[in-house]
Amino acid sequence: MNQANVIYEGKAKYLLKSDNEDEVIVYFKDDATAFNGVKKDNIASKGILNNKITTIIFKYLIKNGIKTHYLKTLNDREQLCQKVTIIPLEFINRNIVAGSMAKRLGVEEGTKLTRPIKEISYKCDELNDPLLNDDHAIGLGIVSEEDLMYCYEEMLKINNLLIKLFDSINLILVDFKIEFGFNKDNEILLCDEFSPDNCRLWEKDTMKKMDKDVFRRDLGNIIDTYTIILEKLEGLGEIENV
Ligand code: UDP
């Protein structure tokens, strides 16, 4: 990777310049962080696994009508994507109580929700990504009401598609975080990544954690875990529309 091409360095990815000014290259690093960067490690090959997993998931979502920034996978670590202006919100969907929600509300991890819960938090490391409500996001001018509602609708569709996909490989989609951005034509696209770094997946029969909680909570080897997820997804072959 040529350092001179770096537009931006995030916790787990670089954004690199491409030959086309409307496109960027997303480079998946091996860095792992948790608790807003307090716990850090470099885990050889994690970036390769997340690039491959994100590629499969984004292709599946695109086939099923979701607009994303993904254009093509260039190599083990890089994807060509549309250049976007990110909406500075983390969109979280929860199907089962876990993580920060369990702590904040004193609800037992594993409690099934009667319907998916949408959360948004303001992307700001210094403030620890504070949780917002819709009025905060709209009133502060972070996003228009119309665009926020569109993102929520897309998140619900993505949730339904991915619940089915993961169910077919015996995994429960507990929760996930996604991001959206505007391309040059002002279309809202799903951006960033979808990997076990930004979702929770539990094995259906054993409830074993198969995601970044393995790293956060020192539960085992993250590479072995992510490799199993990749192999299960690859085992589906060419994933058809559902
Ligand atoms: N998440 C993420 N990035 C963040 C915060 C959360 O990808 O900065 C994901 C996390 O992996 C989980 C979901 O969003 O799948 C909900 O996370 P939660 O709010 O429970 O926070 P955590 O327990 O991860 O601190």
Residue 182 tokens, joined:
């505007």
Q: Whose CA is nearest to atom 3 of ligand 1?
A: 198
pLDDT tens column, 144-170: 999 999 999 999 999 999 999 999 999
**How many Å apart are CA 81 and CA 78, to the nearest integer?**
10
CA distances from 62 to 53, 55, 92, 161, 203 (A): 14, 10, 20, 11, 25
Nearest CA to ligand 1 atom 25: 100
**Residue having the nearest C-alpha atom to atom 21 of ligand 1:** 100
Q: Return all residues near 142 (Cβ < 8 A) that are at least 6 apart.
A: 87, 88, 89, 122, 132, 136
Instruction: Give residue 2's pLDDT.
Output: 86
Q: pLDDT tens digits, residue range 60-84?
A: 999 999 999 999 999 999 999 999 9
**Cα gap 149→156, rounded to integer Å:** 11
Q: Which residues line ligand 1 (CB under 6 A)?
A: 90, 92, 98-101, 129, 175-177, 198-200, 212
